[in-house]
Amino acid sequence: ATYHQDTELQRRLKVRWCMEAANEASETSGPYVSVVDDAALQADLSGALSTLLEELGKSSASAQGLRRPVTSGTCLGDQRVYLLMDGPKALGFLKVGRKRLFVEAVKTSDFADVKNAFQEIEPLCALDFYVHERYQRAGFGRQLFDAMMRRERLSAQELGYDRPSPKLLCFLKKHYSLSKYKPQNNNFVVYEDFWTRPGSVWADRSKESGISCRQSAGCQRAARPARQEGQKDLFSRTEQHVSR
């Protein structure tokens, strides 16, 4: 079923979580994306948002064949949930957060040694991703990802992916041309383009300065400019709908 919120929660979504005037305008132009952090979750005294995240988490787990949900409505910590809303309905969500990973890096030269084969990195990771079955293959998954990447100021190749389902792997290959990766013991997927694609913050910094990926992560967060106020197209609806 599609999940409905009461009038008070809908008001809170507009005022507290949307953060952008563009979201209010988007009510007349179709689904929009709203971001929820732990502060917003704890501030919802009605418990409606917690219930919504619990139900979405259960549906995502069921769709992926997981024994237990990855997303709950109790605490988000430093993670964020991007909700795809259409009026009073939640059509899907994408949860992201930083994870410290020890991964086998792509060999970039014939002289790479064992010491440099494994790197400790801390990328932003896609932790849970779900669009209601009734609304799949209509471009909403792409809309969720694009809105998240605009706000986080990252590209798809700069993310890590926690135990991605076959559907998500196909989605990333179709929409972002990501396909090559080395299986990791921790079941996270870090694509080869994370290390090698021109324009990647990680690849460029490592090449220019020779510093470790962990150091690069700190530099990346420090160098990323703050989001400018009044950026009205942050959660704009994707104009060209493509299949999820």
Could you read off the pLDDT tens digit of each residue along the chain, which spans 244 residues?
Answer: 334 444 444 444 443 333 333 343 344 478 999 999 999 999 988 888 999 999 999 999 999 999 999 999 999 999 999 999 998 889 999 999 999 999 987 765 555 555 557 888 999 999 999 999 999 989 999 999 999 999 999 999 999 999 999 999 999 999 999 999 988 888 999 999 998 876 665 555 555 444 344 444 433 443 444 444 444 343 444 333 334 4
For residue 118, the cross-strand partners are 104
Residues with Cβ within 8 Å of 142's Cβ and at least 6 positions away in sequence, in order, are 175, 238, 241, 242, 244
Residue at token pair 């957060």:
97
Q: What is the largest CA-CA distance in the chain?
A: 62
pLDDT of 28 reads 45
Rounded CA separation 36/73 (Å): 11
Sign, CA dihedral 190-191-196-197, equals: negative
Rounded CA separation 7/244 (Å): 30
pTM to 2 decimals? 0.71
CA-only gyration radius of the chain, Å? 18
Sign, CA dihedral 12-15-17-21, equals: positive
Terminal alpha carbon distance of the chain: 19
Would you say 50 and 76 are in contact if contact means Cβ atoms under 8 Å apart?
no
Q: How many CB atoms lie within 10 A of CB 151?
A: 19
Rounded CA separation 244/238 (Å): 12
Element (H, E) at 99: none
